[in-house]
Structure 1
Amino acid sequence: MMPASVITRYPLAMIVIAQLFGTSLWFSVNGVGLALQEAVGLGESDLGMLTIAVQAGFISGTLLIATTGLADRVRASHLFALSAVLGALINAAFIGVAENVTLAAVARFATGLCLAGIYPLGMKLVVSWTPRHAGAALGWLVGMLTLGIASPHLLRGLTLHLPWQWPLLLASLLALLAAALILRLGVGPHLPTKATGGRPWAGLAAFKQRAFRQASLGYFGHCWELYAFWALVPFLVARELGRLDAAAGLQPWLSFLVIALGLPGCVWAGKWSRQAGSARVAFTALLISGALCLVYPLLGDASPWLLLILLGVWGVSVIADSAQFSALASACAPPERLGAALSMMNAIGFGLTIPSIALVTTLWASHSLMVIWWLLPGPVLGLLAMRELNRRPARA
């Protein structure tokens, strides 16, 4: 482990690395999904249910820390580290219950609970250390979240000839390293470490502010599309590889690449936000991904290479707006309730991922590319909500 002086000298770098390691737990099962289908007989709908279980756990966890005040009463670094350690243990325990779909779903739900102490608290830690240019800083954070979610596909690619349990164990190890990094770093000086008083559901008070409400509605539309798209990526990649008669072993590598392209998308969006403003950047990214929702199914008979390239463009744009929505919300929320407000926004947004994931994973076998049109309402409604914010003068 690096000396504490080095860790505190580069707080943003340490937080985003910890975010990468900690969020490797999120899609750890999806990364070995094809192997699980062969080893224990899971189908596409079963994998969809396991993904939904993680989302449901994350929603429950964010509601818990928001309504109880844990997000603002407990030191953020301690809550992050505890969540990462518990998540690592539960993720490893999944190996023992994978053959029982019910117990497997319970384990994934518990993993989601732990992720609620990683992602929103990571945003709070970023703001506590680097409050200026939050859009750029949060761009790195969400970029690492994206890379973390993609990493199980990479881990599977690296361990393709090893049992499917290996990528899960490696993801748990990364989460333990994340806990150690954040525990050494601690909380930055720019936010109070504890809230002073308050009520359950205090995070909802932020929705009284018009700008926070508009940013949140844009974020909700983004969430409807994002995780369902990520859940579809392995199927979309496998479809094009099949049309190319390419080796099936390429599927985890290309799935990783499509999702991981969100990292440069987030970094680019963060840099652009310093000139154009977070609202304009978020609106543009959502417009691009929404356009792909519309046209991609219409191109089903086009060249597989064209569709793989479009998947890459989609991977860049689908997440590039996320940090900008968080930056807009962070600027509008009461500072003493920032953790609760962001957790509440996350809980509602991730609640919307459950029906979208259920729709696309359940209907994929019978409707193939047509299921993508179920994602389109998210970007459309998000763009409508963001119209007023997009017209405001840009702020760094």
Structure 2
Amino acid sequence: MGFILGTLAMALSGCADRFRASSIFVVCAIAGAAFNAGFAWLSTGMASAAVFRFLVGVSLAGIYPLGMKLIVSWALEKTGTALAQLVAMLTLGTALPHGLRVIGAQLPWQEVISVSSVLALGGAWLIFTLGDGPHLRRASRATRAGEIVAAFGNRMFRSAALGYFGHMWELYAFWTIVPLYVAQSVLGKHLHLGGVSGISFLIIGVGTLGCLGGGYISRRMGSAPVAAAALALSGTCSVAFALGWRSLPAVPLFILLLVWGASVIADSPQFSALSAKACPPELVGSALAIQNSIGFAITVVSIAAVTALFQRVGLDSAWLLVVGPVLGLAGFAPALLSSGERAD
């Protein structure tokens, strides 16, 4: 919720485009590192811990969307490929806790959190050294909230955002539910790859390769077909899983989940690249921030819904994830058709 409110404020206030992206990134990374360390060492109970986590989320609002803007500012001509590398690292980081558990990491959680604060400070130093790229300009005046909302009047931006929203319904709910699906299926009983944690690490982590592969292909085919193909493939995998988890042997089911894990994230950087290209250069930061805000708000609902449904129907809850790709493809269709017309 901190991230959602932070990105919304960043977008509607125009701060994401009025000030240097690198400066916002550095300030928010330092603040996030401090609040993160406070969570580890100063929390005295659930209430204080939740406050620190909320403030970390607010700080991240100046890191993730502004990081994407910085990528665009340095690599405007290959945005899809560059953003794919950024999201690939996010995916690997998401899978890493499962991998650490497999190798038997027994560090106190406070020390793990403290290390992440140190890494955040390292990231702040790198961006401070790098600065902003040459391809995007700051807004010459304070951006009005109405201008940000008006970006959705652009058909290409609106279509890319709708595709992204459908993708977000599926993505984080999938990442959340993977360990439960592994534990309750034949995988947890018959596949020996580090137990639930090891298998979950592979299924989530393979998304890193999906992002990089999608970024490579986008340089030849464009971002729109890659995003649509990945979203359609992840939706197909969710249907296949919902239909086949009872009957499929362990190895074919594992392969299906690997394909799902690779495709479920491969579309994300391509949707962001399309959104960045569709809006005016001076609004890129705000447009990406509000897209993130709405997208992550959707994940709050989908995670709660799929985990609640899992308690009632088990692995058949995968049917709920199909909703995202279906609606995302329907919303993204105008942009896909437009890209085909330009190619012709």
Q: TM-score over 0.5 for the alignment?
A: yes
Match of 2:61 in 1: 116
Q: Deviations over 1:95-127 (max 9, x none)?
A: 357784444333332222121111100110011
Instruction: Give the 5 Å matches for 1:1-396.
Output: 56-96=1-41, 100-158=45-103, 160-240=105-185, 242-244=188-190, 246=192, 250-301=195-246, 302-391=248-337, 392-393=339-340
Contact 1:156 1:167 in 2 (8 A): no
Give me the whole-angstrom Cα distance separating, in 2, the residues matched to 1:256 and 1:356.
21
Q: Which residue of 2 aligns with 1:31?
A: none
User: How big is the alpha-carbon RMSD for the aligned residues of Structure 1 and Structure 2?
Assistant: 2.2
Give the conservation status (yes or no) of the 8 Å contact 2:206–2:262.
Answer: yes
Contact 2:155–2:334 (Cα < 8 Å) also in 1:
no
Preserved CA contact (<8 Å) 2:7 2:289: yes
Find the aligned partners of 1:220 and 1:121 in 2 and give their Cα distance. Answer: 19
Take 1:83 and 1:101, find their aligned partners in 2: how far apart are those partners? 24
Equivalent pairs, count:
339
Report the TM-score, using the length of structure 1 for normalisation: 0.79
Change (3 A) 1:101 1:298: farther
Give the superposition deviation at 1:246: 4.9
Aligned letter for 1:123?
Answer: M
> In 2, distance between residues paired with 1:326 and 1:210?
15
Alpha-carbon contact 2:156-2:334 (below 8 Å) kept = no
In 1, distance between residues paired with 2:274 and 2:262? 20
Matches of 1:89 and 1:269 in 2, distance apart? 35
229-238 or 288-297, which deviates more: 229-238
Counterpart code for 1:180 = W
3-state secondary structure, aligned to 1:66:
helix
- Aligned residues of 1:72 and 1:195 also touching (Cα < 8 A): no
Residue 49 of structure 1 aligns with which residue?
Answer: none
Q: Report Cα offsets for 1:138-190 as digits up to 9, x if no partner.
A: 11111122122223333444453333434323322222211111111111111
Conserved 8 A contact 1:212-1:329: yes
Q: Once the two structures are superposed, what CA deviation does each residue of 1:336-390 show, in whole Å capped at 9, x if it has no partner?
A: 1111111111111111111101112233333221222111111001111222322
State how far apart, in whole Å, the 2-side matches of 1:166 and 1:156 are.
15
369-378 or 382-391, which deviates more:
382-391
Residue 302 of structure 2 aligns with an amino acid whose one-letter code is S
Pairwise CA distance, 1:297: 2.2
| Identity percentage of aligned residues | 49
Q: Deviations over 1:65-110 (max 9, x none)?
A: 1111110122111211222222223233333577844443333322
Amino acid at match of 2:197: P
Gapped runs of 5+ residues in structure 2?
none
The code of the aligned residue for 2:144 comes to: R
Task: Give the TM-score taking structure 2 as reference length.
Answer: 0.91
Structure 1 window deviating more from structure 2 (140-149 vs 297-306): it is 297-306
Please give the secondary structure, in 2, of the residue aligned with 1:188.
coil
How many angstroms apart in 2 are the aligned matches of 1:176 and 1:368? 41
- Worse-matched range after superposition: 292-301 or 112-121: 292-301
CA distance in 2, matches of 1:218, 1:271: 20
- In 2 relative to 1, CA 93–239 (structure 1 residues): closer, same or farther, beyond 3 Å? farther
